[in-house]
Amino acid sequence: MDIKLATKEDIPGVYKLLMELAEFEQLAHAVVGNEQDIEKWAFGNDKVITVYCGWYEGRMIGYTLHYTTFSTFQCRPGLYIEDIYVQPEYRGKGFGKQLLLHVCKLANDKGYGRVEWQVLRWLKPSIAFYESLGAQPLNDWTQYRLIGEPLEHHANAYSRID
């Protein structure tokens, strides 16, 4: 597999794979963005994500989408993998591992302190794979999220104290 930094021309293929991932994770109903949104955040003035595509025999079969985080305890950046996906017919051949290790190399080469991601609790094969690499679950933390109306409500309620 060849792993290459995505170009604008790759975004339709990335979005197609993103939708496959959403279906696989039983979360297609949660997808509200589109190709233009991915392009904006990967290539626009406020670029916040980086996308790499995995190619095999001239076909895009997987991708990673990550962004930079920061650890105040380590006092250095890290990478957060939002998506790592390989099409079902190519799983079990080491392509997912190549994609993950590629992100690890990017982080290590920059002197970053960690690479993190989340996995759905019911994805037992993925959990076993990650743990076989030495990844450890963070069971002491509970993730919280504001999205949609509650996020808008609180954003609109914000007032500056001058």
- Give the CATH number of domain 2-137: 3.40.630.30
pLDDT of 37 reads 98
What is the Cβ-side half-sphere exposure of residue 119, based on CA atoms within 13 angstroms? 19
Closest CA to 85 of 112, 110, 113, 119: 119
Judged on CB neighbours under 10 Å (0-12, 13-18, 19+), 58 is exposed
Structure tokens at 156: 């609109």
In tens digits, what is the pLDDT along the chain, a chain of 162 residues?
A: 999 999 999 999 999 999 999 999 999 999 999 999 999 999 999 999 999 999 999 999 999 999 999 999 999 999 999 999 999 999 999 999 999 999 999 999 999 999 999 999 999 999 999 999 999 999 998 889 898 899 998 888 887 655
What is the residue extent of each domain of the chain? 2-137
pLDDT of 156 reads 87
pLDDT of 115 reads 97
Closest CA to 135 of 120, 122, 121, 116: 116
